């Protein structure tokens, strides 16, 4: 009996030793895995030498923006053949055979049925030197506010123009979205523009050089008047979004004998954009938020670097928060710098206490929160019989903020022609205008009901440029020239 119990206890002891050994091994394994993961993460961060750019696709409805975006994703290997075949069948069933590429970007049913982009589609692809986030903006005039939110996150724009007979003219004429989108893109800080003349394969065009030249000839003066330096900041090229011609590889001479320029991927890869300051104060306008085992905010970092563990401020409600996780596309990272579209998990705040338009900023140098500011405005096109004067009301779009505003005072009208000739030393006292007309440039005071986070254009262009819209039309574009003193919401 005693022998048996002795045997049992030694068996237990052995089992215990084995368990301890195996748990030590598993701890060792875990430690190795963690070490490997850490090493991998460091390696990934070191590897991440590719620059990142946000590119917004803009243009008139039906110009082929979603199709071109879908084709880019297919050509860069983001979408496989089977998915394409599925979309082809789906489009065929809806008797919309040429729309199948657009289904890659237009994911919801309403968009597919109507053939119109509503939300800003978002996707990612890479070229040799650059990682891109595509923002597919809606072209229809009913969805311009969505287009504004897309363009305000972009570094470069791809303006898609249809070469099809009649389609370019519709988009370009008064009331067409081509004009409005170009003006908005310029105002929202899209400094470089690639103008792709799409549908060149179309039977009414057949890669005609005359048609290409005609469109370029009409667009150049308009782009100049919108503030673009056409020689430095704009590049034209012909493509077929549906067939993918001149997108990833250069045009074959058998298809088009007269074009010897680069293809779209080459142009995007080589485009130069101004660098932002990774060491500057953190500024990240919040475009969306959701709950996921904590509060997650989405947006584009306009300045500074956010690191895991950073203490930050959510403005204008001055909530102290901690960044407990950062995601780039689908992968977790330890830090993210300017121009990155990120998701940041925050502790210390509830999701319902955050709104689109709030700004994540550094504690030491927070963004200002104001209810009024002075702005330089360019009046584009007022509604019929409207006069721009004190008391004028409109909807203000500035980064991800959408607020009703009122012009409370016109301070001075600027004569742009005389401004260039005038001697800056001989400053005459200005007479305050009572009202201004279309085309005028005016400095005025703008007031809003709620606190908004903005900066002077000269300090942070991304948080200091805006548009004024009323009844679905863009009536003016402007920049913030003066804000109230630090700590005060009013002058």
Dump pLDDT digits (tens) for 57-108: 888 777 787 788 888 888 887 776 676 677 667 766 665 555 455 656 544 4
What average pLDDT does the segment 243-270 reach? 92
CA Rg, the chain, in Å?
27
Range in 6-20, 44-58, 230-244, 386-400 the model is least confident about: 6-20
pLDDT band at 118 (very low <50, low <70, confident <90, very high): very low
pLDDT band at 436 (very low <50, low <70, confident <90, very high): confident
Rounded to whole angstroms, the Cα distance separating 65 from 312 reads: 37
pLDDT band at 374 (very low <50, low <70, confident <90, very high): very high
Q: How many CA atoms lie within 13 A of 410 on its CB side?
A: 23
Which H or E element spans position 444? Answer: strand 441-454
Cα distances (Å, whole numbers) of residue 342 to 45, 335, 337, 403? 15, 10, 9, 24
The predicted structure's pLDDT at residue 93: 65
pLDDT for 150 beyond 80: no
Q: How many CA atoms lie within 13 A of 54 on its CB side?
A: 29
Per the prediction, the chain carries an average pLDDT of 79
Backbone angles phi, psi at 169, to 5 degrees: -60, -45
Show the tokens assigned to 211: 């048609």
Its pTM surpasses 0.75 = no
State percent of the chain over pLDDT 90.
33
Show the tokens assigned to 60: 């008139």
The predicted structure's pLDDT at residue 422: 46
The predicted structure's pLDDT at residue 267: 92
The predicted structure's pLDDT at residue 81: 67
Show the tokens assigned to 209: 């050089």
Rounded to whole angstroms, the Cα distance separating 348 from 287 reads: 19
Query: 3-state DSSP: the chain helix, strand, coil percent, rounded to 5?
Result: 30, 30, 35
The predicted structure's pLDDT at residue 35: 43
pLDDT for 444 beyond 90: yes
pLDDT band at 13 (very low <50, low <70, confident <90, very high): very low
């Amino acid at each position: 009996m005693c022998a048996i119990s002795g045997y049992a206890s030694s068996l237990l002891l052995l089992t215990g030793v084995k368990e301890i050994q195996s748990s030590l091994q598993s701890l060792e394994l875990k430690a190795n895995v963690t070490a490997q993961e850490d090493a991998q993460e460091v390696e990934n961060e070191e590897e991440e030498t590719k620059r990142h750019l946000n590119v917004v696709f803009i243009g008139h409805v039906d110009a082929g923006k979603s199709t071109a975006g879908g084709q880019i994703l297919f050509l860069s290997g983001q979408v496989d053949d089977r998915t394409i075949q599925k979309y082809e069948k789906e489009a065929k069933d809806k008797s919309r055979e040429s729309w199948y590429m657009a289904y890659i970007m237009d994911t919801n049913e309403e968009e597919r049925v109507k053939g119109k982009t509503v939300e800003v589609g978002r996707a990612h692809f890479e070229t040799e030197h650059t990682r891109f986030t595509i923002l597919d903006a809606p072209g229809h005039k009913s969805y311009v506010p969505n287009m504004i939110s897309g363009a305000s996150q972009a570094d470069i724009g791809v303006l898609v123009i249809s070469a099809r007979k009649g389609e370019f003219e519709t988009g370009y004429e008064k009331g067409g979205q081509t004009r409005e989108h170009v003006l908005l893109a310029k105002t929202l800080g899209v400094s470089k523009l690639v103008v792709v003349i799409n549908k060149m394969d179309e039977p009414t065009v057949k890669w005609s050089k005359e048609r290409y030249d005609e469109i370029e000839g009409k667009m150049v003066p308009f782009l100049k008047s919108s503030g673009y330096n056409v020689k430095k900041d704009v590049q034209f090229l012909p493509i077929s979004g549906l067939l993918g011609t001149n997108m990833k590889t250069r045009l074959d001479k058998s298809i088009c004998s007269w074009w010897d320029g680069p293809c779209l991927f080459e142009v995007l890869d080589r485009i130069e954009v101004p660098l932002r300051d990774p060491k500057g104060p953190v500024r990240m306008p919040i475009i969306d938020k959701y709950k996921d085992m904590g509060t997650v905010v989405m947006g584009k970092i306009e300045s500074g670097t956010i690191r895991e563990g950073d203490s930050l401020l959510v403005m204008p409600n001055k909530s102290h928060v901690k960044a407990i996780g950062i995601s780039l596309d689908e992968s977790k990272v330890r830090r993210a710098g300017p121009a990155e579209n990120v998701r940041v998990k925050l502790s210390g705040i509830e999701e319902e206490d955050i709104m689109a338009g709030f700004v994540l900023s550094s504690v030491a140098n927070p963004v200002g929160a104001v209810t009024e500011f002075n702005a330089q405005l360019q009046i584009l096109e007022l509604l019929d019989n409207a006069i721009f004067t004190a008391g004028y009301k409109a909807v203000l779009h500035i980064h991800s903020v959408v607020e009703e505003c009122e012009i409370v005072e016109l301070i001075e009208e600027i004569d742009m022609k005389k401004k260039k000739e005038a001697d800056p030393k001989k400053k005459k006292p200005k007479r305050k205008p009572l009202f201004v007309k279309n085309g005028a440039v005016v400095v005025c005071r703008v007031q809003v009901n709620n606190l908004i986070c903005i900066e002077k254009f000269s300090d942070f262009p991304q948080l200091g440029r805006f548009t004024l819209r009323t009844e679905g039309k863009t009536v003016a574009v402007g920049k913030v020239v003066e804000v109230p003193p630090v700590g005060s919401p009013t002058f």
